[in-house]
Structure 1
Amino acid sequence: MADLTEYAATFDLVDSDDDGMISAPEMARLMEVLGRPIGPDAAQAAVARLDANGDGLIDLEEFAAYLAANQ
């Protein structure tokens, strides 16, 4: 399991509404800021790839696990 504290600050930047989850609109905003804009369908697909529990959102554990596995 990834060390959640290692990824929490980055997660908090992406979680713009501070609800503890990253949604498809937040993913789209992140990609726009990174200079790689994506549409709503691509943002939803990106969230689905990281969404291990199937709730349609990315929580800190899912985010950290993805980043740790892709370093």
Structure 2
Amino acid sequence: MINETFKKILSLNGVSILIGIIGGVVGLLSIFIDWNWTISIKWLAASIIFFSFLLLISILVVFELYKKNKQ
């Protein structure tokens, strides 16, 4: 059941939606952050993007499992 959920989320459509969401976050960050200021901000932004990607995938997996258990 979990493998099917991962395959559904990480399909071509699911990955493109996740990339779009992360791209939107990067776009908003670029408005407020001067990327040439220091290296630490670049690493902070990269880690935020990475962890938001993982958090979004985990939320989608939990939601799909909840829908299957509710049925």
Normalised to the residue count of structure 1, the TM-score between the two structures is 0.34
Whichever of the two has the greater Rg, that structure is 2
Normalised to the residue count of structure 2, the TM-score between the two structures is 0.34
